Every structure is written in C-alpha cells, then in structure tokens.
Amino acid sequence: MVLFAIVVATLVTGIGSVWVAALLMRFGLGGKEGTQHLLSLAAGALLATAFMHLLPEAFESQAGAHDLFTTLLVGLVFFFLLDKAELWHHGHEHSHAAHGHAHADPPPGHAHAHAGHPHAHDHGHRPAGGWALLAGDSVHCFGDGVLIASAFVADMRLGIVAAVSVLAHEVPHHIGDLAVLQQTSANRHMALVKVSLAGAVTAIGGLVGYFLVAQLHDWLPYFLAVASSSFIYVALADLIPQLQKRLSARETTFQILWLAGGIGVVVVLSGLAHAH
C-alpha cells in the first residue's frame, strides 16, 4: 500500500506539476505576477511542511536532538553545494520568455536572474534542446522522489503533505523550464514532453527511496531531517530571495496572503488526512 501510494504521489508530483504549469501558461496565468504568487504559495507550503511536520516527526523518534540538528545543518550545506554545481538550482524567472512571447536573442553569456538580484546564471551552457537544464531537473526530481518516499514511509499523512508541497514549488519552476525550452525548440509540444520525462524521474527516485529507507529504517529520522533541509533550503535560498524586492503595499499584501495560503494549505491537508 505504501509503495503504491509513493508511485502515485511521485508521478502526480513529477508529471502533474509540468502539466499544471503548461495549463497556466496556456491561459496566460504563468506571467510574472502569477509566478510570484505561486512562489509565495510554494515557500509557505515548504516551510510549513518542514517545520510543522517533517522535523516534529523526526524529533519524536529515539534519535538525539544534537544528531538531528547536525544532520539538518549538513543537509543545508550539502544542498548549497549542489546548488553551486547547478544540480539543485531552480530558476523560476527566465529572461527568455515569460508568457511564451519571443524576445530578442540575448548576448553571449546573458543569463536569467532571480528577480531583484544583480547576479545571474549563464544560459550559454544550455544550447539546443536545453539538455543541461533537463539533466539538472532530472537530478532534482530524483531527489524529490527520495524525499517524498521517506515521508510516506514515516507516515502516510506526512507523505501526502510532502508531495503536495513539492508539487506546489515545482509548478513555478516548470513554468520557467517550459519558457526556456519553448524558445530553444521549434516544437512547443516537444518541450512539454521533455520536461514531463524529466518530471517522471521523480517516480524513480520514489522507488529507490522506498527500498533504501526500508533497508535503513533506523535511519528514517535522519532521512526526514535531510528532507527538511531540502525544503528549507529551497524556500529560503531560492524562492524567498525572488520575493525580496521593492513592491507596492498592494503587491506586498498579496505576497503575504499567498505565503500564508501556502501554510494554510499544508495545515488543512494535514487535518483532512488525519481525519481520514
């Protein structure tokens, strides 16, 4: 039953998030403002899942607090290094396209930037087909699958909450991916297929995670701490920095409301799962 739930959840998370992103773009909801709202929602969901569910579940075990906090710290540093290696990086805003509209070709070495950030990441290494981008996505999706599996092995309700949180933050990520690939490919449908295949790697990660955690069940609290470090790192190092820019009072209010909405979604889902 747990294995079946992991497979379904990882497929829905990995592929479903791509199709939701494509649907939002098709109806013009994947633009800058819509993406900013999704980023706020995702940040709230990830932080709520980490601090309200994954970490409490880990600390309810027999593992010592010092060891778990050490694991959390090592995990944060590890994901920072993966980010440096461009394997865990999520670029949610791309200068190539925001709504599928063509822009002038950027100069060599031009990059997409996190909104409001002076630094940028070079797109020169992502030529036709965006295979480097897809490779990075696949690695990240595999990791997401392992983390979701760890949550499901600990508790079915926790797995559902973790899967929804991952889906929430993958949607704005895939909007950026699709925008980039649609600019580098003459066939827009092929861009959707490529990103969907990368998303499907989430299920492979889920299967590996299930058998890995099953063999190392005593280490489950540490897997949950690592999952927490992933969620916290993505929220604080990737999503929230994109929201830290000068906005009007109205835009700031919406940003806070969407962030609170992400936390609320996790709380409501957790309550519903507990009730059933």
**Mean pLDDT across 135-157:** 90
Rounded CA separation 13/49 (Å): 15
3-state secondary structure of 225: helix
Q: How confident is the model at residue 1 (pLDDT cuts 50, 70, 90)?
A: confident
Rounded CA separation 33/172 (Å): 11
pLDDT given at position 55: 94
Rounded CA separation 120/110 (Å): 8
Residue 111 phi, psi dihedral angles, 5° rounding: -140, 165
Cα dihedral 166, 172, 174, 177 sign:
negative
Contact 53, 160 (CB under 8 A): no
The answer to the question of residue 256 being in a domain is yes
Rounded CA separation 46/237 (Å): 12
Instruction: Dump pLDDT digits (tens) for 162-210.
Output: 999 999 988 988 888 888 787 766 677 888 898 999 999 999 999 999 9
Who wins on pLDDT, 274 or 136?
136
Alpha helices in the chain (DSSP H): 2-11, 17-26, 32-49, 55-59, 65-84, 131-154, 156-184, 188-215, 220-233, 240-243, 249-275
Query: Per-residue pLDDT for 96 more than 90?
Result: no
Who wins on pLDDT, 94 or 57?
57
Rounded CA separation 74/30 (Å): 35
The answer to the question of residue 193 being in a domain is yes
Instruction: Dump pLDDT digits (tens) for 80-92.
Output: 988 887 655 555 4
State both tokens at 214. 């099953």
Q: Which residue has the tokens 């990882």?
A: 10
Q: How confident is the model at residue 103 (pLDDT cuts 50, 70, 90)?
A: very low
End-to-end CA, the chain: 16
Q: How confident is the model at residue 269 (pLDDT cuts 50, 70, 90)?
A: confident
State both tokens at 215. 């063999």
The answer to the question of residue 112 being in a domain is no
The answer to the question of residue 50 being in a domain is yes
State both tokens at 143. 């990791």
Rounded CA separation 144/230 (Å): 9
111: enclosing H helix or E strand: strand 111-112
Contact 13, 148 (CB under 8 A): yes
State both tokens at 29. 């909801």
Greatest mean pLDDT among 49-63, 91-105, 173-187: 49-63
**CA triple 204-208-212, angle to 5 deg:** 170
The answer to the question of residue 122 being in a domain is yes
Query: Per-residue pLDDT for 97 more than 60?
Result: no
CA distances from 82 to 2, 48, 122, 140, 203 (A): 29, 23, 16, 10, 21
Q: Mean pLDDT in the chain?
A: 81
122: enclosing H helix or E strand: strand 121-122
Total domain count, the chain:
1
DSSP string, 183-209: HH-S-HHHHHHHHHHHHHHHHHHHHHH
3-state secondary structure of 39: helix
State both tokens at 99. 């709504």
259 alpha-carbon distance from chain centroid: 15
pLDDT given at position 76: 94
Domain range for 219: 2-102+118-275
**Mean pLDDT across 250-274:** 86
The answer to the question of residue 59 being in a domain is yes
**Which region among 107-116, 211-220, 237-246 has the lowest average model confidence (pLDDT)?**
107-116
Contact 240, 23 (CB under 8 A): no
Query: Per-residue pLDDT for 129 more than 80?
Result: no
The answer to the question of residue 111 being in a domain is no
The answer to the question of residue 108 being in a domain is no
